Structure 1
């Protein structure tokens, strides 16, 4: 096999820092061939989201069926889905086409605070997508929303919430602890058949953190076919994201929360510090 085909099912971000644009950059940087199915258009910049236009569910299904009838897919990253109908179309495609290595990033709210998932769609994510994902990658607010609980405030609470997400049907959970603050960023990987693993990295001092969740989940999807398991893919994806954050201030892509530097290893920009 000359390359791995990685599919992003997500929304579009005109600023290029998140959504399918970030996913394609990440896939390419990590040696994957990127493909996309667009679920929503957004009008957004580094300063916020001005509007969202959902793609009709039947057209999302047509994109999926047309692509998957032709192309082999080796891993899937699922991001912004917006509506219950689109979630249902994606869930059906996972079953019909037996999609492998499905990484679900349950995108609900943008960095700017703008909501990207209809409130009524959270129940459908919980019931239709959690049991179909090989790995789900919520941050602390997203995990709390999926569980109908308050956010975890420490690692023990993270372990408990990750376990309850497994009880809802998730096969593996990477609970991202970035919202805890501190000098390090600690994520917790749990699975029903393995001991929990903690992944810790330095917290990079930069305002340019737009699309970090998209980038991490797409890096895991890109690396999973190249690694023996999800634990190795998560470890190397977190290393990649930390380096992309470390180089983020070399970019000048807007006046707000800018993107990470997906191609830091390829562009001769140098790192800070």
Structure 2
């Protein structure tokens, strides 16, 4: 029968160097044995040195992407990546609510891992108020969690409080990625709070490398892929944490500066 094979979708921008965005998501879907498709929102021209141009696709074109995928495929889980502005976020919210694309994993691309803000305030407010409540899983980094919860996180207790606040904003399951930009640290600790109330920490060794492009994209994509295959949210998160850590630890030399992670490294 048609559409028996597990399928997942990314709603994200296309990164021309293949290291992040839609391309990183599709790499992840492929190696996790899920058929991946994409509703492309933005096209970015760049390489390992940086981003040099971008173009946001018209919303009527994005509407057509959603309609065509819904008319032919059975998407069992989907995820969002970088959404450039408030208009685009509202368009994605509208389309996700219109079609059945399964559980939604929201990677709230607001701040870089070093704390630089990527979205203007109006877009941030739209993401927080309209997209976040649709999330089955939300995967903020440390700085995004601070921004979303409007609090400073300095202790483990603060991380736990921030996760609880994200649930009050509507997200069901939370993984807050710990700090990972200090070259003196020895481990990275992420905090998980599930819809059931269960919580736990995930800890992996810190790896000092500049081959980390697409890390957040790939984590959220792996969670999406595992859910599409029928895994529980907890199992999906645990697999994704291991997948990304192994992908960072086993480097590939692609590009001259900030390179991609190795999506082939983790096998189970």
Q: TM-score, normalised by structure 1?
A: 0.90
TM alignment of 1:42-61, pairs within 5 A: 42-61=44-63
> Which range moves more in the overlay, 126-135 or 84-93?
84-93
Instruction: After TM superposition, give the deviation of residue 40 of structure 1 in Å.
Output: 0.7
Q: Is 2:197 the partner of 1:194? A: yes
1: distance between equivalents of 2:202 and 2:213? 21
**Does the 8 Å CA contact 2:6/2:228 hold for their aligned counterparts?**
yes
Q: Is 2:216 the partner of 1:213? A: yes
TM alignment of 1:1-273, pairs within 5 A: 2-110=4-112, 116-150=118-152, 152-179=153-180, 181=182, 182-248=185-251, 251-264=252-265
**Does the 8 Å CA contact 1:153/1:180 hold for their aligned counterparts?**
no
Instruction: After TM superposition, give the deviation of residue 228 of structure 1 in Å.
Output: 3.7
Instruction: After TM superposition, give the deviation of residue 115 of structure 1 in Å.
Output: 5.5
Q: How many pairs were matched up?
A: 263
**Does the 8 Å CA contact 1:103/1:221 hold for their aligned counterparts?**
yes
> Which range moves more in the overlay, 5-14 or 179-188?
179-188
Structure 2 unaligned segments of length 5 or more: list them.
Answer: none
**Does the 8 Å CA contact 1:166/1:191 hold for their aligned counterparts?**
no
> Which range moves more in the overlay, 237-246 or 40-49?
40-49
Residues 75-95 of structure 1: CA distance to partner in whole angstroms, max 9, x if unpaired? 101101111111111111221
**Does the 8 Å CA contact 1:216/1:241 hold for their aligned counterparts?**
yes
Aligned-residue CA RMSD (Å): 2.0
1: distance between equivalents of 2:194 and 2:201? 12
**Does the 8 Å CA contact 1:48/1:112 hold for their aligned counterparts?**
no
Instruction: After TM superposition, give the deviation of residue 110 of structure 1 in Å.
Output: 4.9
Instruction: After TM superposition, give the deviation of residue 112 of structure 1 in Å.
Output: 8.2
Structure-2 change in CA distance of 1:200 and 1:111 (3 Å): closer
1: distance between equivalents of 2:117 and 2:254? 22
Structure 1 unaligned segments of length 5 or more: list them.
Answer: 267-273
1: distance between equivalents of 2:33 and 2:168? 34
Q: TM-score, normalised by structure 2?
A: 0.91
**Does the 8 Å CA contact 1:103/1:217 hold for their aligned counterparts?**
yes
Instruction: After TM superposition, give the deviation of residue 116 of structure 1 in Å.
Output: 4.2
Instruction: After TM superposition, give the deviation of residue 142 of structure 1 in Å.
Output: 1.0
2: distance between equivalents of 1:227 and 1:239? 18
